[in-house]
Amino acid sequence: MILLYKRYKLCHAVFMEASKVKDIKEKEIGDTMKEPKFSRLKEDIKAKIVHSEWKAGDKIPSENMFAAQYHISRQTVRKAIGELTEEGYLYAEHGRGTFVSERTIHTRTSKNIAVVTTYLSDYIFPRLIQGIEQVLTANGYSIMLKTTRNSRAAEARCMEELLSKDIDGLIIEPSKTQISCRHTSLYDQMDEYGIPYVFIQGYFEQMKKNLTC
């Protein structure tokens, strides 16, 4: 076993010797070698996404393409792409390719659902929330509770806060529904982040359906 290992190492050394020539050449042409290669690629990809050169849903070049273009190994490319995937910029589809995420940030793993009501002290809402809490707990989710005191300003503030936190969904009793909604942009943002939301105004059955699935 040890003998075989040594033989392997020797052959490897011979091969390495030959490849050294290219390595040196690359170092001469290449960058300053200050920051790691994967880091450079990562920033390049990130920049292209942030500056909308690559838009949401676009397929980015394959790992081998990057490897070839940047003269780095596939593993190094994988490291860059892997980190960007973890950060939410990219997502991979097995056998298809790697794509730019719809909207960054939200990772859909917080297991938190925000429940926003106007008031808590009413006779009905404690029970409602208790019902939601039970269903959510049974499915491993938690409630994040907020109230608006039927103020649209408070609702807007509340939603902004929720957008900055990590929630997987929103159940909201909108305030002052008789007047038109003044902060549709916040709901648009929810859409963009891919956070589902349901309105509740007494439709318990419908709500429950949206909850459990």
Residues in the site for its own copies, rule: CB under 8 A? 1, 4-5, 7-8, 10-12, 14-15, 18, 86, 110-112, 115, 119-121, 125-127, 129-130, 133-134, 137, 140, 142-147, 158, 161-162, 165-166
Taking the C-alpha atoms of residue 146 and residue 209, their distance in angstroms, rounded to an integer, is 22
Report residue 109 CA to chain centroid gap: 9
Q: Could you say which residues in the range 66-105 bind DNA, by CB under 7 A?
A: 71-76, 78-79, 92-98
Specify the 3-state DSSP secondary structure of 180.
coil
- Give the x-and-dash track for 151-190 against DNA (CB under 7 A): ----------------------------------------
Amino acid identity, position 134: Q
Taking the least distance from each CB to DNA, the nearer of 79 and 106 is: 79
By CB under 7 A, the count of residues binding DNA is 31
- Residue 10 CB partners (closer than 8 Å, separation 6+): none
DSSP, residue by residue, 52-70? TSS-TTPEEPPHHHHHHHH
Contact by Cβ (8 Å): 168, 115: no
Least Cβ distance, residue 109 to its own copies (angstroms): 10
Strands (E), 23-173: 59-60, 90-93, 97-100, 112-117, 142-147, 169-172
The one of DNA, its own copies, none whose footprint includes residue 160, by CB under 5 to 8 A per kind, is none
Least Cβ distance, residue 122 to DNA (angstroms): 47
Taking the least distance from each CB to DNA, the nearer of 60 and 190 is: 60
Where do contacts with DNA occur on this chain (CB under 7 A)? 5, 8-9, 12-13, 16, 19, 36-39, 60, 62-65, 71-76, 78-79, 92-98
